[in-house]
Every structure is written in structure tokens, then in C-alpha cells.
Amino acid sequence: MIRQVLLRGGRGVRHGKCLTNCARARRDNQGYNAFTLIELIVVVGIIIILAGLVLSTAGYARKKSARARAETEIAAISAACENYKADYGIYPRGPASAIPIGNVTIPANATDNLNTRTRGDPTDTTDPTYGETSLYLYTQLSSDSDGNPQTPPTGKSYFTFKPQMLSMDTNGIVTAIKDPFGNSYGYSTTNQTDPNKGYNPTFDLWSTAGLTTNPPPSGTDTITPQWIKNW
């Protein structure tokens, strides 16, 4: 009987030592498998680098897609201008006198006043010619004389503008033809009045590809390789 108790007690002592040693081993293993501060810093650094690469690649893809869309839209609008000329004998040019469209008043001869060579900032609110000329082009190609896309056209429509191509005011009235970069397209017939201005003897149609170059000194050229244009 005493021997059995001692054996049981011995087993109990040995079992208790085992529990203690196993717990210590688990703690040691847990400490060994945990990340050190340096390892965490390295991992976070790698994640940041990879995120930067992904974002830069996505930004490049968006710009490339926007350029492709702008090229397609310029080609399509140019074709519409050719169809317009086939019917009227001239490209959209004017207006002959100032005309109001919504809250915008397009001055007389607006398309002749936008010099492609010296005006490179479509966001310049002190010189809103970009918006005025593209709005006039919109009215001529869509036959939407009041700038409201919801009203039926007043004549033959040469181009159907998608909503994403139009800048509108709070009343839903068109204010400009918008390029994929969020700025107004440029449209000019200034070369028809002065060969030293503009580029095409027909018309200039372009997107600044998101660039907002301020007008340079008189006589210099604003054109950059990034512009998307019909010349």
C-alpha cells in the first residue's frame, strides 16, 4: 500500500515536472516564432514599396486610357466637322454675333479668337475662350441651340455627345465639350484669318492632356508632345 502511494506520488511529481517543462518549452517556442522589430519594419517597408508600384502602374494605365479615349473622340468630332462642311461648305466657325447659351455668352467670332499657339491653359477662368469655342462647336454639331441635351435638336445632328463628354452647370445646361482629363477641348479656326496663328487652315481641335500651361510670351509656341491634336 505504501509503495503504491509512493509510486503514485512519484508519478505525480514527475507529471508536475513535465507540465512545468512543457509550459516553459511552449513559451520558448512562442518567443522564437514571433517577429522581431527589425523583421516587422522590413515587411512594412516591402508592403509600402509594392503599394507604391501598384498605384503608379494604375495611374499610368488611367492616363494611357484617357489619351486613347481623347484620340478617338478627336477623330470622331473631326469627322463630324467634315460632314458639317459637306452640307454647309464651311467648318463650324463663329458665331457671327454674340449668342447666349444658359449662363454663358459666346462672343462674336469666338473660334477665330482662340490662338492655339499662345493659349495653353484651358482652366484659366480669366480667359474662358476654351469653353466658349467648344460650346459653340457643340451647338453646331448637335443642333442643340439652347445647350439642353434633353430638348430635341433644331436641325440635323452630326454628332451624338455622350454625357461623359459634356461639362454642365447646375441646371443641366452644357457649358463645354469635356476631354477625358476633365478640361475643355480646344477648338479654333484662327488660322483661317491669320496664317501666323493656329496650325490647320481648316480647324484646330485638341486636348492639352491635363496640362495647364500658362500662355507664354508673345510669339512663342505652347505646343508640347503631350498634347493630343488633329494636326
Predicted local distance difference test score (pLDDT) of residue 60: 75
Q: What is the mean pLDDT of residues 85-95?
A: 97
| pLDDT bucket at 119, cuts 50 / 70 / 90 | confident
Helix (H, G, I), strand (E, B) or coil at 64: helix
- 2 pLDDT more than 50: no
CA dist., res. 231 & res. 158, Å (int): 21
Q: Which of residues 116 and 57 earns the better pLDDT score?
A: 116
Q: Can you tell me the distance from the alpha carbon of 38 to that of 207, in angstroms, rounded to the nearest whole number?
A: 49
pLDDT at residue 145, rounded to an integer:
93
Cα angle: 139, vertex 140, 143; to 5 degrees: 70
Q: Can you tell me the mean pLDDT for 9-37? A: 56
Model-level pTM?
0.73
- Which carries the bigger pLDDT value, residue 226 or residue 90? 90
The answer, yes or no, to whether residue 114 has pLDDT greater than 60, is: yes
pLDDT at 70 over 60: yes
- Of 172, 171, 101, 155, the C-alpha closest to 133 is 101
**Residue 226 or 201, more confident:** 201
What are the pLDDT digits (tens) for 202-223? 999 999 999 887 544 444 455 5
